[in-house]
């Protein structure tokens, strides 16, 4: 065999190997970059959830080809820093600084993605977390102020309201959630034309909560728990409060916010939808 033929075969094999390596790299191409902001102070149930969330999202990132970073430095909520990420998560709180709020609003208005959990939607005047950010609570979330909650944290049967939405794709029509403290809001989201409710509490969940106070047990009503605002790439998820052993003063974690497989699928669907190219 001539040196030319041998050289050609070597070159051909090299090209084939390079092609397969390139194809493999394309298959593992990073889908999006995600940054989570959190505070993780004061409420042990929220702190417990944040620790779980940081572990779970990092694991999902490795399995689903996106990157996951997290920070408790809210000064990073600025235009330059946010430009590196396709999706922002608020795991437990919201920004309080005016410049940070303005940067986040601009990020969302320019097509950024966002998913908020549980306490990130909380606002109550008067409280430590006053409703002093009208764009966020009334326009963006649409929920207004916090009105009440169930207690103790308990599982609920959740119902998919929009089975055609990418976030609810292949999610069971009804499923059991992980234990959670469920919120009620001052605004009726059904009356907001910009809000699309994706998941709500099914009536088979009632009575929901164990008390001991009577108003902490819900017996009827309509309660959205996952929704999106159609003007933005956003999803709010009411889950994110673990059950803790406060009564016996052990402060032991008694439940996991990631203990429901179907709920986990829903959260991952939401994130991948937000990180995608389509609104």
Distance CA(93)–CA(100), nearest Å, equals 13
Contact 66, 12 (CB under 8 A): no
Domain definitions of the chain by residue range: 1-30, 32-275
State pLDDT tens for residues 60-76: 999 999 999 999 999 99
Count of beta carbons in the 10 Å neighbourhood of residue 223: 19
State pLDDT tens for residues 79-114: 999 999 999 999 999 999 999 999 999 999 999 999
State pLDDT tens for residues 11-64: 444 444 444 444 444 446 888 999 999 999 989 999 999 999 999 999 999 999
With 80 as the cut, is the pLDDT of residue 10 above it? no
Q: How far is CA 239 from CA 66, 133, 200, 224, in A?
A: 22, 22, 12, 11
With 60 as the cut, is the pLDDT of residue 166 above it? yes
Q: For a pLDDT cut of 70, what percent of the chain falls above it? A: 89
Q: For a pLDDT cut of 90, what percent of the chain falls above it? A: 87
Q: What is the third-level CATH fold of 32-275?
A: Rossmann fold (3.40.50)
Say how many CA atoms lie within 13 Å of 11 toward its Cβ. 6
Q: Residue 1 has what pLDDT?
A: 55
**Least trusted range by pLDDT, from 146-150, 179-183, 218-222, 247-251:** 247-251
Q: Rounded mean pLDDT of 127-143?
A: 98
* pLDDT band per the 50, 70, 90 thresholds, residue 9: low
Is pTM beyond 0.75? Reply is yes
How does DSSP assign 217-256, residue by residue? SB-S---EEEEEETTSEEEEE------B-TTTT---B---
* pLDDT band per the 50, 70, 90 thresholds, residue 278: low
């Amino acid at each position: 065999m001539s040196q030319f033929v041998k050289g050609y075969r070597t070159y051909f094999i090299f090209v084939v190997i390079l092609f397969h390596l390139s194809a493999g790299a394309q298959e593992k191409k990073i889908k999006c970059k995600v940054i989570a902001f959190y505070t993780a102070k004061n409420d042990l149930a929220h702190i417990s959830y944040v620790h779980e969330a940081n572990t779970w999202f990092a694991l999902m990132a490795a399995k689903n080809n996106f990157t996951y970073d997290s920070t408790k430095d809210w000064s990073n909520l600025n235009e330059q820093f946010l430009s590196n990420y396709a999706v922002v998560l608020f795991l437990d709180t919201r920004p309080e600084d005016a410049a940070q709020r303005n940067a986040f609003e601009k990020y969302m208005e320019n097509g950024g993605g966002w998913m908020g959990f549980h306490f990130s939607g909380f606002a109550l005047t008067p409280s430590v977390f006053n409703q002093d950010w009208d764009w966020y609570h009334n326009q963006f979330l649409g929920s207004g102020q916090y009105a009440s909650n169930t207690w103790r944290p308990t599982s609920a049967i959740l119902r998919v309201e929009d089975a055609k939405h990418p976030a609810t794709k292949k999610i069971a029509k009804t499923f059991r959630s992980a234990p959670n403290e469920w919120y009620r809001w001052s605004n009726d989201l059904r009356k907001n034309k910009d809000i699309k409710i994706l998941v709500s509490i099914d009536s088979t969940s009632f009575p929901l909560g164990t008390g001991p106070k009577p108003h902490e047990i819900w017996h009827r009503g309509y309660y959205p728990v996952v929704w999106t605002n159609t003007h933005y790439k956003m999803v709010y998820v009411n889950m994110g409060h673990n059950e803790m052993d406060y009564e016996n003063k052990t402060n032991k974690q008694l439940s996991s916010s990631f203990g429901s497989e179907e709920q986990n699928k829903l959260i991952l669907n939401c994130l991948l939808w937000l990180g995608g190219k389509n609104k």
